[in-house]
Amino acid sequence: MTTLFSSYRLGPLTLPNRLVMAPMSRVRAAAGGLATPSMATYYAQRATAGLIVSEGVQPSAIGQSNPGTPGLHTDEQVIAWRTTTAAVHANGGRIFAQLMHGGRVSHPDTIGQRPVGPSEVAAVGDVFTPTGPRPAPTPRALDTAEVPEHAESYARAARRAVDAGFDGVELHGANGYLISQFLSSNANLRTDRYGGPITNRIRFAVEAAAATAEAVGGARTGIRLSPGGTFWGVEETDVPELYTALLSELAGLGLAYVHLEATAADEVLTALRKEWPGTLIMNPVLPMGPRQTGRADAERWLGLGADLISFGRGFLANPDLVERLRGGLPIAPVDEATYYQGGDAGYLTYPTHRHAA
């Protein structure tokens, strides 16, 4: 019988359990987008996860969304990340880098230039900047000839990730960032080969995934998707058709996995499970929603056909989440005030469970 604690073969990796640490931005990188010794400790503390997916890592300078986030587009960043990947591996873990191009979800104060997107349509809400939240600016629409360069940026960053010691990469195709913006029917108003009908709107995602799989191998390439999600004001029409078409195209690339968020009804997500022939990671509750994923949510989705289950806030506050779930131990609550404030408080200070004497 398959349980959360059964092993799983993911490409060349043998995962000791079915629990995945979901990507979570912590904005604690050093100047220049460099990973830090504290980041190495943070991820190594959680190495009992079957797989760790890192926080969002910008694949290019213009792809940075928030200040204080790490990158994988310079040699210095590669060198800095090696301490983290080595620490995770020394503790017996496995780690993928999530490659996140923010697209329009950025600001000139953060990246020194106007953000880019599929069309000149601003995101909804305030974005983070070095001086605090500011209204999302109207992005510059990419010319048709520029789009492949941004798809290729994921592949270049993936090569650097492997050089830095990561076991693979996950393309952030969810939550209103650049890939999600191209999938959208209101952020993407293009009339060229990247906009309009579904076949065109999925093209950027497929090109980014194909370039990355060619660069580092499909077995080292995953993608995260949020069908029907409305983060940063994106909307998607024809969600089942859109994602069925996308998964059909991705299926030929031999990807390590698709990572779905619970942003659509169960019947939509279970239908997509049937369309996807490979490994499915399921994030069972809405990211940043009112409640955290629990064991019952995870087991329900294993029963619905997911292969692996991702936990976000559970891993943030419980470095030993695997053992807590295995033993039915209490799950510590997360301190939301320390999500992004910097420093080691609320980052390295969550303890493992202590049994009563």
pLDDT < 70: residue spans in the chain: 288-289, 355-357
- Which tens digit of pLDDT belongs to each residue from 157-173? 999 999 999 999 999 99
Residue 347 annotated in active site: no
Residue 46: both structure tokens together: 């959680």
pTM of the model: 0.97
- Whether residue 117 is contained in a domain is answered as yes
Rounded Cα distance between 198 and 155, Å, is 24
Catalytic residue of the set 177, 194, 257, 350: 177
> What is the tens place of the pLDDT at every residue in 51-73?
999 999 999 999 999 999 999 99
352 in any annotated domain: no
The CATH code of the domain that includes 88 is: 3.20.20.70
Domain assignment present for 353:
no
Residue indicated by tokens 């650049």: 178
Confirm if 232 and 121 have CB atoms less than 8 A apart. Answer: no
Per-position b or e across 130-167, b if 16+ CB within 10 A of its CB: eeeeeebbebbbbeeeebeebbbbbbbbbebbbebbbb
Residue 355 forms part of a structural domain: no
Q: How many domains does the chain have?
A: 1
Is residue 1 a part of any domain in this protein? no
User: What's the pLDDT score for residue 197?
Assistant: 98
DSSP 282: E
Its domain, for residue 197, covers: 8-338
What pLDDT is recorded for position 355?
59
- Answer whether residue 343 is part of any domain: no
Whether 210 is covered by a domain: the verdict is yes
The answer to the question of residue 134 being in a domain is: yes
